[in-house]
Structure 1
Amino acid sequence: MKYLVLPAVMIGLAPAALAIAAETRAEERTGLPPAQLPTVQVTDTAEGGLGLSLPSTSGSRTGIATRDLPASLEHVSEQTWQERGDSRMADIIGRTVGMTPLSPTSYSSLSFGSRGFTGTNSVGIAEDGVRLGVASSTTPYPANSWGYERVEVLRGPASIVYGTGTVGATANIVRKQPTRESVREVLLGTGSHGSAKLGLGAGGALSDTLSYRLDAYGHYTRGEHDMARASGGKLMSTLRWQPTAALRMELLADVSDEKPAHYFGTPTVNGAIVPELLGRNFNTADSDIRIKDKRVRARAQYQINDWVSVSNELYRFKADRYWRNIEAYQYLPATQQLRLGDYLELSHDLEQTGNRLETAVNAGAHKLVLGWEVNRAKFNFARNDYAGSDLIGVNSPSLTYWPNSSPLLPSFTTAATTHDFYAEDAWSLGDRWLLLAGIRRDMTDFDRKDLTGPNSFGKNLGGTAWRLGLTHRLNAQTSLYGQISQGHDPVTNVLTLNLANKDFKLTTARQVEVGLKQQFAQGQGEWTVAAYRIEKDDIVTTDLITKLQYQGGRQHSQGLELSGVLRLSPNWRLEGNYALVSAQYDELVKSGVDLSGKRPSNVPRQTANLWAHYTAASAIGRWQASLGARTVSQRFADDANTASSGGYTVWDAALSWKPQPRATYRLSLRNLSDKLYTYSAISGTQAYPGEGRRVDLTAEFTF
């Protein structure tokens, strides 16, 4: 494998406090006046900025500043997504550089494409640094932003921090923490399609050593399509006990219950949406989707002395999910008919218990982290085996009942026990250089019990991830970096491995990345640029002669990513990002078709986001007007590149009024021109349409 490795250098100033202390000691020893010190500029961080001065809790476990991290990491704060009028997590993550949402806006599943790689097997989702089990490519939580303070997106192979299944990127959603100060928050909202939402948040001290955080949220909408009604709610709670400054213990308990829309897209012709069919739902009237999650976590952190701390996190997660739907639709223009298929009745019962023990050592120039994580996931799968299909006329009503009376029967159970051992060291080589090195070994013992046939088996999976990065600070505000890293993805979801893919190992991906991060204009502007190349091996392909599958496929992607924020004046602020990616299969055969040289489906060459905010004060309060645009270029609807989904640009806007510091009223408008476009393709004959024009009105209060 060949790489063009570009050198990266960085230089930085030593902290001003150390310089002043050194000069003071010199004067006391010699009696001479101190040498003339250079002028020190004190900079602020741009409002709605990229978070370059913040600790990179999602990019490295050592806690170094994002500016010093030799990797591409983006922060999105609660203030930023509120100003844009966003509340769905898919929208918030999807506006970060190079991220393309894949799941429908009406369904609470978090699936994205990044750097040429797509789906939950390559783009991971974590909450407070913990990734929970993914079953059948379903990651429904957290669906909305209430109760969270920021989102951090680490791009490129993230296996060193989060384990397998993170070659494209990982989004870590960070929840709000207990505080000693009393906090009360209320959100009231209404909008198009009969939507309504209510959020309640509270935090504060219960005693000298106890504090808490509690968040509750509920929502409802009729939806913009037939049978697109959706509702749900959640409760998030954290109790913190901190008897001393050195010891902190927390107990977290969450529960959520979602009933998403029973909508699986609309038929297409050559990848293009058929306008006459838009808005119709070809599912059954008695279709059903239920998603229930429960989470419990206990965390403890103890600072043994000035340079050693120990932390432990024990967690348990349980999910009960059920689907009964017709999910595939094909339009036949010649006969003016629709073919309905994929009659799926499924249930998932997923339980995961895990523990992470970690030691952090701050030894002078070294910030070292050593950890061990173990988790065991159990997955029970039941289905109604029905392979039926139907032909209906375009103007005929959809089916009104589930056509199969067979019972839902257990199909298989799986169990996976994974041990992860990792070490990471941030080594300061003088004042201007930082070397970050890390290694992680994942080992999984997998067992599948087939309840309907003789297809039970067990296997072991293992993967080694590593990262070596170098940061060079040109000055106090500018850093250059370079890194090489290795990560791994499963050939399919680990918990649903079957007899057909039991002999396959994890795929391997290697990346080289260089970039620059800079704050300028006394902190009123920030920008980053990153260039990368990723090569992924061991993709499952097929021998054209023997028709046997083997791990000989290869894929690569390379690209450029730009992000920036600039406060032009006290009234104007601009935010934007741009991503250019070239991705293709170098060697791959699927279903007898040679895909070499083809671009993976749902991977656009270009994406961009731009927001402009104007703020003004008046006698009746503070106003802010925001205008944003999202651009996604043409994509292919299938890996063979025979069907194409056109590119699109969608305009959004928001207007907020803050009559007093603790009250904000916000009007949000989505898809101002009511543009018809493809959000993501399911296949060459079916796609999720983008959301039409929507208006939301919210009121936000703090006490």
Structure 2
Amino acid sequence: MSHSLLYCSVPLALAFAGLAVASEDPVDLPGLTIQAKAAEEGETDLSTPTSAGSRLDLSALQTPASTTSLSGAEVRGRNNRSVQDAVTRTPGISSIGTPGNGGTALSARGFSGHSATMQLYDGTRQYVGAGTVTFPVDTWSVQRIDVLRGPASVLYGEGATGAVINVVPKKPFAGPIHNQLRLGYGSDDRRQMALDSGGSLSDALSYRFNVNQQASNGWVDRGDSKSLAFSAALRWEASDELSFTLSHDHGDQDPERYFGTPLVNGHYRESLREHNYNVGDAEVRYNDQITRLVTDWRINDALTASNQLYYIKTQRYWRNAESYRWQPGDVVLRSDFYEIKHTQEQVGNRQSFTLDHSLFGLDSRTVVGVDYNRIHFARQHDFASSFSDSVPLAGSGGGRYQSDDPQGYGPRERNLARQFSLFAENRTQLSERLSLVTGVRRDQVHIQRDDLLGDSRVDRSLSGGNWRAGLVFALTPELSLYGQHATSTEGVNNLLTLSPSQQQFDLSRARQTEVGLKQAFWNGQGEWTLAAYHIVKKKLLSRETPSSPTEQVGQQSADGLEASLELALGRGWQVSANAAFVRAEYDDFVEGGGERSGNRPSNVPRRTANLWLNKALGHGLDVGVGARYVDARYADAANQIEVPGYTVVDANIAWQALPDVRLGLELNNLFDRQYATTASSAGQQWYLGAPRSFFVTADYSF
């Protein structure tokens, strides 16, 4: 798709909207305020308010952007153990997770990593230290996941060019107390014990409590893992107009200490699938805690206020040999012996006001607010980069961690960031069919870095302003045409850990033009969406030669199409399908003297697709099968190292054996496909997907 075609599409779409507005046939539009479905219904559709796409409580049909909402029941019903598993079943998003980024990094619309795909927890941004996000632990406590594709800095600040993922946790609800207990067991001695409990304690008090404990021996040698996640929330309805919700979420993870499989003379050898070349005393640990107090106040019929005060603490620890390279004689050279600890604390507050009002005689809703965060990040490490050893290819690593860092393991740096922003959004109903959605945000960030070894300090203030404007035209109450323009900003690296030289650069800037269609049909039994976009990101770091100074002159762009279909057919059949195509490239980029202009960015597949089929067989028996396709990607910006594409098929069976008992069987990677999810930058080391496995569950509700 040419750039000119996309640029012409917006005025063309708006012209069609104008012609349609002139039509004499009135269209009954839904009111601006949409009531969300009950939390326990477990369903989302185009009329469900999307938390990621706007703070205006708009449905997907009313939002001028490509969005997807997944209910928690849907996520867990498709064998998705992590948020990343779930969102990569939506259009155009693929996983690039490794232990170094917490296993949570994503690629969307041609832009990759945590600096471009932001992840939120109930609308709260978790600032990224050293490229790592490790929360939430699993999907047991997830009520809904909302996805917004494309630039979203106008909503959430710096670092959201590709997509925003908002995880909405299960929340307290009024009514009788309901409990769900799950026990599970499967391949590789995988075990699970989980509980979900909630309901009313009194007329004014309700609660929600979730706990999930998991463990596994793993599919690679020495691949044992375990995790514990729990969340507790208490809501007090002080009056019909005022409520307070206090919650605490906690996660502990000891994931597999697997850092990939080396290629043999540039080729993957299937016999090495279960080998683990890490050291025998390797460690990976993540600990996350989030405490929040949310206040919701209906001041009058037109004005509401919401405040969220939060404290987030994250600790991460690695001790590994992380790089493995095959050598003639079938030995593996191990290097990058790293011991690292991150400690991060974030205190923040977000206050917003929502007003329903008249604007020049037109129905309108406006949200205004402020957002403040103070983030401390400390790093301890040793970098024994010159140390290496060798182990037999036919073996499975082992040995002990060693370091030749003369400074040893200890505190190296301490960083502080203070962020303040003002934001506003508005939706105005221009006519019965046409609405205008706008937004603006101004961010100010001050970052400070203390070098504890060199006893030096550098600091920098960065600011950025972003905006978006979109028109939504209702061809019918169930069919919307939209067009929008949005901007975003990104740091040249994660803001918390910018090096002294990186702090001298401005924020990179991106802009997007997008048009799309969304429709619900067959009395709500079917939905489809289509989106086309063009994104340009400027001010990339570029360097003419290895010895030349780095300049902020590079440019990257992406053009793409995304489509999705949800369809409930007769006789118990349900279909969920989506596909995406992106043409991403560096328009102007030189990497250490290597010309990269015209190349595709690393970790970006051209095509992705997903399919999931469900069939209700009767007598409480349901079956499902799904396929995930990811096209080939490059492991480097030079486009010399290609990682093959893959298709993985999963399936499940569920049986409502008794009114309160449900049994399930999950089958993952049904055809035992051997594939790589991503590769190291050198391209000689692949991170493999898990082999075929099964998992049996028993759920008891009481």
Q: Same fold (TM over 0.5)?
A: yes
Which residue is 2:454 aligned to? Answer: 453
User: How do 1:238-253 and structure 2 match up within 5 A?
Assistant: 238-253=233-248
Partners of 1:49 and 1:565 within 8 A in 2: no
Deviation at 1:689, TM superposition (A): 0.8
Residues 1:645 and 2:643 aligned together: yes
* Secondary structure of residue in 1 paired with 2:562: strand
The one-letter amino acid paired with 1:197 is: Q
User: How do 1:145-294 and structure 2 match up within 5 A?
Assistant: 145-181=139-175, 182-268=177-263, 272-294=267-289
1:4 to 2, 7, 10: 7
User: How do 1:60-79 and structure 2 match up within 5 A?
Assistant: 60-79=54-73
Which residue is 1:686 aligned to? Answer: 685
Partners of 1:271 and 1:645 within 8 A in 2: no
* Secondary structure of residue in 2 paired with 1:142: coil
Which residue is 2:309 aligned to? Answer: 314
Residues 1:600 and 2:601 aligned together: yes
The one-letter amino acid paired with 1:190 is: Y
Deviation at 1:318, TM superposition (A): 0.8
Which residue is 2:389 aligned to? Answer: 390
Partners of 1:420 and 1:441 within 8 A in 2: yes
Alpha-carbon spacing, 1:214–1:122, altered in 2? closer, same or farther (3 Å): same
1:203 and 1:562 mapped to 2: Cα distance?
Answer: 37
Alpha-carbon spacing, 1:672–1:105, altered in 2? closer, same or farther (3 Å): farther
Deviation at 1:16, TM superposition (A): 8.3
Partners of 2:545 and 2:592 within 8 A in 1: no
Which residue is 1:91 aligned to? Answer: 85
Partners of 2:546 and 2:592 within 8 A in 1: no
Which residue is 2:515 aligned to? Answer: 514
Residues 1:58 and 2:62 aligned together: no
Deviation at 1:385, TM superposition (A): 3.2
Which structure 1 segments of 5+ residues have no match?
Answer: 19-46
2:621 and 2:166 mapped to 1: Cα distance?
Answer: 31
Which residue is 2:540 aligned to? Answer: 539
Deviation at 1:231, TM superposition (A): 0.3
Partners of 1:5 and 1:512 within 8 A in 2: no
Alpha-carbon spacing, 1:154–1:16, altered in 2? closer, same or farther (3 Å): closer
Deviation at 1:109, TM superposition (A): 2.8
Which residue is 1:37 aligned to? Answer: none
* Secondary structure of residue in 1 paired with 2:504: coil
Partners of 1:271 and 1:644 within 8 A in 2: no
User: How do 1:108-119 and structure 2 match up within 5 A?
Assistant: 109-119=103-113
Which residue is 2:698 aligned to? Answer: 699
Partners of 1:158 and 1:166 within 8 A in 2: yes
Partners of 2:136 and 2:251 within 8 A in 1: no
Partners of 2:76 and 2:140 within 8 A in 1: no
* Secondary structure of residue in 2 paired with 1:385: strand
Which residue is 1:669 aligned to? Answer: 667
Partners of 1:273 and 1:677 within 8 A in 2: no
1:300 and 1:484 mapped to 2: Cα distance?
Answer: 33
* Secondary structure of residue in 1 paired with 2:171: coil
Residues 1:297 and 2:292 aligned together: yes
Deviation at 1:199, TM superposition (A): 1.1
Partners of 1:508 and 1:536 within 8 A in 2: yes
Which residue is 1:626 aligned to? Answer: 624
Q: What's the CA shift string for 1:413-455, capped at 9, x where partnerless?
A: 0000000110100111121111000001111011111011155
Alpha-carbon spacing, 1:74–1:311, altered in 2? closer, same or farther (3 Å): same
* Secondary structure of residue in 2 paired with 1:384: strand
Alpha-carbon spacing, 1:455–1:583, altered in 2? closer, same or farther (3 Å): farther
* Secondary structure of residue in 1 paired with 2:7: coil
1:675 and 1:106 mapped to 2: Cα distance?
Answer: 24
Deviation at 1:269, TM superposition (A): 5.3
1:106 and 1:547 mapped to 2: Cα distance?
Answer: 29
Residues 1:426 and 2:427 aligned together: yes
The one-letter amino acid paired with 1:193 is: D
Q: Which moved more, 1:7-16 or 1:366-375?
A: 7-16
Deviation at 1:214, TM superposition (A): 0.7
1:292 and 1:78 mapped to 2: Cα distance?
Answer: 23
Deviation at 1:395, TM superposition (A): 3.4
Alpha-carbon spacing, 1:106–1:84, altered in 2? closer, same or farther (3 Å): farther
Deviation at 1:677, TM superposition (A): 0.9
1:68 and 1:635 mapped to 2: Cα distance?
Answer: 35
Q: What's the CA shift string for 1:281-330, capped at 9, x where partnerless?
A: 11111111111111111110111101011111110011121110011111
Which residue is 2:350 aligned to? Answer: 356
Deviation at 1:108, TM superposition (A): 5.2
Which residue is 1:23 aligned to? Answer: none
Which residue is 1:441 aligned to? Answer: 442
* Secondary structure of residue in 1 paired with 2:271: helix
Q: Which moved more, 1:261-270 or 1:583-592?
A: 261-270
User: How do 1:571-582 and structure 2 match up within 5 A?
Assistant: 571-582=572-583
Alpha-carbon spacing, 1:401–1:93, altered in 2? closer, same or farther (3 Å): same
The one-letter amino acid paired with 2:535 is: I
Q: Which moved more, 1:226-235 or 1:448-457?
A: 448-457
Q: Which moved more, 1:199-208 or 1:262-271?
A: 262-271
Deviation at 1:180, TM superposition (A): 1.4
2:31 and 2:533 mapped to 1: Cα distance?
Answer: 36
Residues 1:402 and 2:401 aligned together: yes
Deviation at 1:336, TM superposition (A): 2.4
Which residue is 2:35 aligned to? Answer: none
Q: How many residues align?
A: 673
Deviation at 1:146, TM superposition (A): 1.0
Partners of 1:50 and 1:526 within 8 A in 2: no
Partners of 1:525 and 1:564 within 8 A in 2: yes
The one-letter amino acid paired with 1:691 is: A
TM-score (norm 2): 0.92
2:101 and 2:43 mapped to 1: Cα distance?
Answer: 30
Alpha-carbon spacing, 1:570–1:294, altered in 2? closer, same or farther (3 Å): same
1:608 and 1:598 mapped to 2: Cα distance?
Answer: 23
